[in-house]
Amino acid sequence: MPTRKRNLPCVVVRRGPEVIMLDCGEGTQKQMRYSRIGFNKKMKILISHMHGDHVLGLPGLFQSMSMLGRTKKIDIYGPKGLKDFIESTERTVKYSRRFDLEIYEVNEGRIIEEDEYEISSKWIDHDFPCLAYALEEKEKPGKFKLNKAKELKIPKGPLWKELQKGKSIKIDDITIKPNEVLGPSRPGIKLVYASDTRPCKPVVVLSKKADVLIHDCTFEDSHKDKAQDYGHSTASQAAKIAQEAYAKKLILIHISAMYEESNNLLKQATKIHKSTILAEDLMRIEVRN
C-alpha cells in the first residue's frame, strides 16, 4: 500500500538514451513527472509479477504517453497474465494507444540480448509466480590510447572507430589489432531487481557479484513470521542474500506501510551488509564501476 511518504514499486534504470522500467505501480506516471524522466524515450518495461501494486500504473502511463504524442514502440516483459491484463484494461477503459506495444510473457532464462547488455530472469520465492531480473552489461572495450594511435600513424576517422569497437584494421598490408591501441577491457555493470521474494537461492545465483542488488525488504526482523507467511523478506534476510552473493551495494525496497519510520530496517540490514541504502521516493543513484 502507498503511504503518505511512499508510492508503489517502480524502479527506472537510465542507461544512455534508454529507460528500463522495473515494475509500474499506481502513480508511476505522476512520479515520472517529478523525476523528469520523459515519456518519449526508448524504453523497455520488465514486470516482476501480476500483483496490483506492481502493474496498476501501466494503463494510465500508456494513456498519458499517447496523449503526449508518443509513437515509439515499447517492449514489455513479464510472467503469464501480463497480456490478459493489458488487453482487458485496453478493452474496458477507452483510449487509443498511439504507439506499438510488444508484450512478451517470459519464463526464466536469458530474455533480452542487446549489443551492449543482456537481461536474464529467474523465478523467485513469492506467494505468486514472480521473476527477478538481472541486467548485465557486456565487457566494454578499453580506453582508446590517442598517443599510441598517432605513433602507429593511424589516420583519425573511421579506422579509429573500428579499433574502438574491438576490430582489427589494415594499413598498407600491416594489420593493427585493437589491443595495440586499447587499454584493458572494462567489466560492465550488473544490476539485479528482486521484488517480491522470501530470501532464496535463485536470487543469490542471479546476483552473483552484482554491482547493485535491489531486494525486497517488506518487514523488520521482528516480523520474520509475517515475511514467511506473505512471501517477503526481512531487512536482515535481504542483507544476508547480498552477502552470500557478494553484491557490492544493496538497495532495500518494498517497505511495508506499517513502518512510518524506516530507520530500524536500515540499521538491521547494515549490521550484516555495510553498503546498504534504503530506497526513498525519487531517490537517484549513480552506478559506476
Binding of residue 51 to its own copies (CB under 8 A): yes
The C-alpha atoms of residue 139 and residue 217 are separated, in whole angstroms, by: 31
Q: Following CA atoms 86, 89, 93, 96 in sequence, which dihedral angle do they give, to the nearest 10 degrees?
A: 20
DSSP 8-state assignment for residue 72: S
Question: Per CB under 8 A, does 69 bind its own copies?
Answer: no
Write the binding mask 186 to 225 for its own copies: x where contact by CB under 8 A, - elsewhere: ----------------------------------------
Decide: is 57 part of the binding site for its own copies (CB under 8 A): yes
From the centroid of its chain, how far is CA 193? 6
Which residue from 3, 71, 264, 289 is in contact with its own copies, where contact means CB under 8 A? 3
Determine if 93 is a binding residue for its own copies (CB under 8 A): yes
- The count of other CB atoms within 10 Å of the CB of residue 168 is 12
Task: Return the number of the residue (68 or 146) whose C-beta is nearest its own copies.
Answer: 68
With contacts defined by CB under 8 A, name the span among 12-20, 91-99, 112-120, 131-139 that binds its own copies: 91-99
Identity of the residue, 50 or 101, whose beta carbon is nearer to its own copies in the bound complex: 50
φ, ψ of residue 8 in degrees (nearest 5): -85, 165
Count CB atoms within 10 A of the CB of residue 92: 8
C-alpha torsion 285→14→135→277, nearest 10: 10
Q: Please give the residues from 101 up to 140 whose contact with its own copies meets the rule CB under 8 A.
A: 128
Q: Which residues here bind its own copies, judged by CB under 8 A?
A: 1-4, 7-8, 26-27, 29-30, 33-34, 50-53, 55-57, 59-60, 63-64, 67-68, 81, 84-85, 88-89, 91-95, 128
